[in-house]
Amino acid sequence: MAALDLVDAKGEFTLGEVAAALAVRPSSLYNHISSKADIVEAMRTLVFTTHPPAGADPPITDGWQGVLRALLRRYRDAFGHHPRLIPMLTAHTVSSPDVVHMYDDIATVLAPPASRPRTCWT
């Protein structure tokens, strides 16, 4: 992705730079996206779904801690390939279903069991 290459190289991108990298006019980009935020979210999805490949996690053998560890390692490993992208991601709301699903998985792992009083978590 042209925008990701620009971010990896210099930590930022403009729509004009992306258009130039793709050899199109900037106005042509708006046939496919509505804003720079759409490109940031596309980069988030691309990075999260391709690094590491699905199924690369080892089997989990140590309960909820192992599940949480595996989820957080996948997140770290995915975005660790593109450290200059991380500041951009923190400035934009997550809407990628793949990333939202991972956050849901973390919340599920950390949720208290139904049998445990809620006060144990405060």
Give pLDDT tens digits for 60-104. 667 778 888 888 888 888 888 899 999 999 998 888 888 888 888
* Length of the chain (residues): 122
Question: Using 50, 70 and 90 to split pLDDT, how confident is the model at 110?
Answer: confident
113: in domain? yes
3: in domain? no
Question: Using 50, 70 and 90 to split pLDDT, how confident is the model at 121?
Answer: very low
65: in domain? yes
26: in domain? no
Residue 73 is part of which domain span?
A: 36-121
95: in domain? yes
Question: Is the predicted pLDDT of residue 113 greater than 90, yes or no?
Answer: no
Tell me the average pLDDT across 27-37.
92
62: in domain? yes
The total of structural domains in the chain comes to: 1
Residue 106 is predicted with a pLDDT of 84
Cα 86 to Cα 80: distance, rounded to the nearest angstrom: 9
Q: Are 12 and 6 in contact (CB under 8 A)?
A: yes
Q: What burial letters (b/e) apply to 9-26, b meaning 16+ CB within 10 Å?
A: eeeebebebbbeeeeeee
Which residues make Cβ contacts (< 8 Å) with residue 22, sequence separation at least 6?
A: 2, 29
1: in domain? no
Residue 122 is predicted with a pLDDT of 44
Of residues 48, 44, 36, the one with CA closest to residue 12:
36
Question: Using 50, 70 and 90 to split pLDDT, how confident is the model at 53?
Answer: low
Residue 115 is predicted with a pLDDT of 47
Average pLDDT of the residues of the chain: 84
